Amino acid sequence: MPGKRVQIDDETWHVLDLLARDRMATFQELADEAFADLLKKHGRPVTLRAALRQSAGQSADVVRLPRAKKRNEKKKKTRKR
């Protein structure tokens, strides 16, 4: 993940640092949570899966495909004589 620089005033930094220590979290974890909340607030997808579902529309259904049979099962059936 590429790094980005953000300028934060000293007072805000100290408050964020205290919050991170209280929650036993890193600044990165606080930032991830804050950005995810901001995206949700404005109706933007946070994950790729959410973006794909949103682009497919509300009526899109998730269709699960049947699992393929294992190769051993096919061989066992053909060996019987």
DSSP secondary structure letters along 28-79: HHHHHHHHHHHHHHTT--SSHHHHHHHHH-TTPPP-PPPPPPPHHHHHHHHH
Domain boundaries, given as residue ranges, for the chain: 7-57
> Which range among 3-12, 49-58, 64-73 has the greatest average pLDDT?
3-12
Query: Of residues 63 and 16, which shows the higher confidence score?
Result: 16
pTM: 0.58
Taking a C-beta distance cutoff of 8 angstroms, is the pair 44, 35 a contact? no
Read off the pLDDT of residues 3-34 as tens digits, 9 standing for 90 and up: 889 899 999 999 999 999 999 999 999 999 99
